[in-house]
Amino acid sequence: MKLITFGLLILGVALSILGWLFDRLSKLNWLLKLVASEQASALQALELLAQNARYLLLSKHPGFGVLISRWPGLSKRNSITGIGRSVAFIEFGQQVQNDFELIAYSAGKQEIDPRWRYSQAQQVMNAELDKQVFWGGTIVFYLGIVITLISGVVELLGGN
């Protein structure tokens, strides 16, 4: 019996630590890919586009489908074969911000409207990621706490 309660204690603590790690997901790529692989792939695709103005994201990239499915106002989703970007520009307002637009291309390298701002695409992906990570981390953390408490109650009631 003591071995079972000790195992429950270890499992509960491990789950609590894992739930705590969810809060630091953006710094732990291995956990990010495990928990939210779609969002991680889309964020990686956006980063590739941000790093190289001439990069063309092709449909075989894992983040391609995720970006296309979230693209607002895009009607010809099936005919898109690549995503490129515009030149960078500075947007003045309350905050000065560097930005560029994402451009969807058909097989004939023709632009398909509308364009989508990089900053907006990043916000959409980060919002999805934050929501998924928050609930996943909260559930895992509290499950670990409950299992740890159960092991303590079992030990208290059955302990000799």
Q: What is the DSSP string of 20-34?
A: HHHTTGGG-HHHHHH
Question: What is the identity of the amino acid at 140?
Answer: V
Reading the chain (160 residues) residue by residue, the pLDDT tens digits are 778 888 888 888 888 888 777 767 666 676 667 767 788 899 889 999 999 989 999 999 999 999 999 999 888 777 899 999 998 888 777 776 788 999 999 988 888 999 999 999 999 998 888 887 788 788 888 898 899 888 888 888 875 5
